[in-house]
């Protein structure tokens, strides 16, 4: 009996402290109000990769209500007011040319199973409309982004299949070049450029993503790829988890000239919380992350900003943003820095919703365009783990470059005329 009384007293004191805290911090009160009106949409969370690392995707052995070894679990999601999440279907670069497609499909599968296992918390989503439906139901809309073009094995058919399975963005590279795109490490000088940005097949893939209605994610690519995609994409692009290069000159971040181009093309930069990208050091504070928000707003405007925490994909997080539950503190900090309600709502989710709607519009406008079924040249992907079925490479019939083919036809015509 005494223990029950003591528990009741402690509960009463805890509730009272929460009320006092809310009254004492009008910015937090306002932040929570805005988050009740507009969904917080986060661009990148690696919980699915943690489920593989820690449990080999045996979701039946995990309870997301009590999981304590990750930045993300259901109580933290609810406390953080997470309205929508792009869950990352990520597999490392060492899977390239091996089993990347299989492993990525398994990551897509685990996101679907998360939604099926916790239907009271998650709603699987593939569209801007789905996000708002989930928000009205007080559920976290769960979308999928594939992090790294190596997951496609250079196949447009694989891209389309993943789209049909619910994938709504592709990060063109991770931390390795693909046979058709250069990754961000090229800009550090630690890797060599193989394509001067995008190869011809890489440009095919961008066009096909526009046709499908898949968001093009430029986190992890070189500046050359950023600019090439911004030049050619019919739809706005995203940076799902990148910060401002001027604030922290790390090559994973976005330079000012690109921020201005993102503004001109209607895209969005979803700001990363990883200490190394926030302060270019091992330590950071919540206010340092807010500095990135302020800088991007100054350079590109409030309409290109979003949240891309990179929770469960990084090893170091700022003081005050240690897990998913802490994000409302960052929203309150923006308000403390005189961000307007409209600007905060834009960053929370309205910007991403606008981008998704435009990508969906481009898809609808291209609905009568046939899928691109021209494969990448075999010589660009030939390796010991890849077969050549479908490619005509035996005997006298071999793939030719365009110039070689024209020269061959011209020679044949000359022989015919002189014969």
Q: If you write DSSP's letter for every residue of 272-309 in order, what string do you get?
A: ---HHHHTSSS--BHHHHHHHHHHHHHHH-GGGEEE--
Any residues with CB less than 8 A from the CB of 184 and at least 6 apart, and which? Answer: 173, 175, 220, 221, 222, 251, 252
- The answer to which of 230-234, 255-259, 414-418 has the lowest mean pLDDT is 414-418
- CATH T-level assignment (fold) for domain 25-378: TIM Barrel (3.20.20)
270: Cβ contacts below 8 Å, ≥ 6 apart: 42, 43, 44, 238, 239, 240, 241, 242, 305, 306, 307, 308, 352
Matching residue, tokens 């389309």: 160
**What average pLDDT does this structure show over 213-229?**
98
Residue 122 bridge partners (DSSP): 140
Q: Alpha-carbon distance 303 to 337, whole Å?
A: 17
| The pLDDT of residue 401 is above 60 | no
β strands within 218-295, DSSP E? 238-239, 268-271
Residue 137 has pLDDT above 50, yes or no: yes
Query: Average pLDDT in the 114-135 region?
Result: 98
pLDDT at 417 over 50: no
Give pLDDT tens digits for 156-210: 999 999 999 999 999 999 999 999 999 999 999 999 999 999 999 999 999 999 9
Does residue 287 have a pLDDT over 60?
yes
Using left for φ > 0, alpha for ψ between -120 and 50, and beta otherwise, residue 189 falls in left
Residue 208: name the closest of 144, 163, 165 by CA. 163
Q: Work out the angle at residue 59's Cα, subtended by the Cα atoms of residues 57 and 64, and round it to the nearest 5 degrees.
A: 120
Residue found by looking up tokens 């083919």 in the block: 405
Quick: pLDDT tens for 347-364.
999 999 999 999 999 999
What average pLDDT score do residues 44-62 get?
98
Q: Are residues 255 and 223 in contact, defined by beta-carbon separation less than 8 angstroms?
A: yes
**Centroid of chain to Cα 309:** 10
> Quick one: which H or E segment has residue 86?
strand 82-89
Residue 24: the pLDDT is 80
Q: How confident is the model at residue 5 (pLDDT cuts 50, 70, 90)?
A: very low
Q: Which of 383, 358, 20, 413 is nearest to 213 (CA)?
A: 358
Taking the CA of residue 40 as centre, how many other CA atoms within 13 Å lie in the half-sphere pointing to its CB?
26
Q: Check residue 23 and give its pLDDT.
A: 55
Quote the radius of gyration of the chain (alpha carbons, Å): 24
Q: Which tokens belong to 160?
A: 């389309």
Question: Could you give the residue numbers annotated as active site?
Answer: 44, 46, 147, 174, 220, 241, 310
Q: Tell me if 324 sits within 8 A of 80, measured CB to CB.
A: yes
State the pLDDT at residue 322.
98
Segment among 82-91, 287-296, 375-384, 385-394 with least mean pLDDT: 385-394
Per residue in 7-51, pLDDT (tens digit) is: 443 344 434 444 444 458 999 999 999 999 999 999 999 999 999
Averaged pLDDT for residues 105-122 = 98
- What is residue 276's predicted lDDT score, i.e. its pLDDT? 98
- Which CA distances in Å does 79 have to 35, 82, 212, 346? 11, 8, 35, 21
pLDDT value of residue 3: 44
Each domain of the chain, given as residue ranges in start order, spans: 25-378, 383-418
Q: What is the mean pLDDT of residues 247-262?
A: 98
**Lowest-pLDDT range of 253-257, 269-273, 368-372, 415-419:** 415-419
DSSP code per residue over 150-204: GGGTS-HHHHHHHHHTTEEEEES-SSS-BTTB-BTHHHHTSS--SSSSB-HHHHH
The mean predicted confidence, pLDDT, of the chain is 92
Which among 72, 149, 158 has a CA at the least distance from the CA of 118? 72
Instruction: Give the whole-number percent of the chain exceeding pLDDT 90.
Output: 88
pLDDT, position 394: 53
Mean pLDDT confidence for 76-101: 98
Q: Give the Cα separation of 263 and 236 in Å (integer).
A: 9
Query: Is the model's pLDDT at 107 over the cut of 80?
Result: yes
State the pLDDT at residue 410: 53
Query: Could you tell me which residues come within 8 angstroms of residue 103 by beta carbon, excluding any fewer than 6 positions away?
Result: 91, 95, 151
């Amino acid at each position: 009996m005494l223990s029950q009384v003591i528990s009741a007293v402690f509960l009463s004191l805890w509730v009272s402290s929460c009320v006092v805290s809310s009254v004492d911090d009008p910015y937090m009160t306002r932040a929570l109000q805005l988050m009740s009106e507009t969904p917080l949409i986060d661009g990148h969370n690696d919980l699915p990769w943690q489920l593989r690392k820690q449990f080999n995707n045996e979701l039946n052995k995990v309870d997301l209500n009590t999981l304590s070894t990750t930045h993300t679990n259901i109580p933290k999601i609810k406390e953080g007011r997470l309205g929508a999440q792009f869950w990352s279907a990520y597999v490392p670069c060492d899977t390239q040319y091996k089993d990347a497609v299989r492993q990525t499909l398994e990551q897509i599968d685990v996101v679907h199973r998360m939604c099926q296992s916790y239907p009271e918390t998650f709603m699987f989503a593939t569209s801007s409309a789905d996000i708002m439906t989930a928000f009205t139901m007080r559920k976290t809309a769960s979308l999928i982004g594939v992090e790294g073009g190596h997951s496609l094995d250079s196949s447009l058919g694989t891209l389309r299949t993943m789209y049909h399975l619910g994938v709504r963005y592709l990060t063109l590279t991770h931390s390795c070049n693909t046979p058709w795109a250069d990754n961000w490490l090229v800009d550090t000088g630690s890797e060599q450029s193989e394509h001067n940005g995008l190869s011809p097949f890489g440009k095919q893939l961008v066009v096909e993503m526009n046709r499908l209605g898949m968001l093009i994610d430029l986190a992890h690519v070189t500046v050359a790829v950023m600019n090439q995609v911004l030049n050619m994409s019919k739809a706005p692009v995203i940076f799902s988890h990148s910060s401002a290069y001027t604030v922290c000159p790390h090559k994973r971040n976005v330079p000012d000239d690109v921020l201005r181009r993102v503004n001109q093309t209607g895209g969005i930069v979803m700001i990363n919380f990883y200490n190394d990208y926030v302060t270019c050091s091992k330590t950071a504070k919540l206010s340092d992350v807010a500095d990135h928000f302020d800088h991007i707003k100054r350079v590109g405007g409030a309409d290109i900003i979003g949240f891309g925490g990179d929770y469960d994909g990084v090893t170091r997080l700022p003081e005050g943003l240690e897990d998913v539950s802490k994000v409302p503190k960052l929203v309150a900090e923006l308000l403390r820095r005189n961000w307007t309600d409209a600007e905060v709502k834009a960053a929370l989710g309205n910007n991403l919703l606008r981008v998704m709607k435009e990508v969906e519009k481009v898809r609808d406008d291209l609905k009568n365009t046939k899928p691109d079924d021209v494969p990448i040249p075999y010589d660009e992907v030939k390796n010991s783990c890849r077969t050549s079925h479908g490619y005509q490479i035996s005997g006298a019939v071999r793939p030719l470059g365009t110039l070689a083919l024209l020269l061959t036809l011209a020679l044949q015509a000359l022989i015919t005329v002189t014969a």
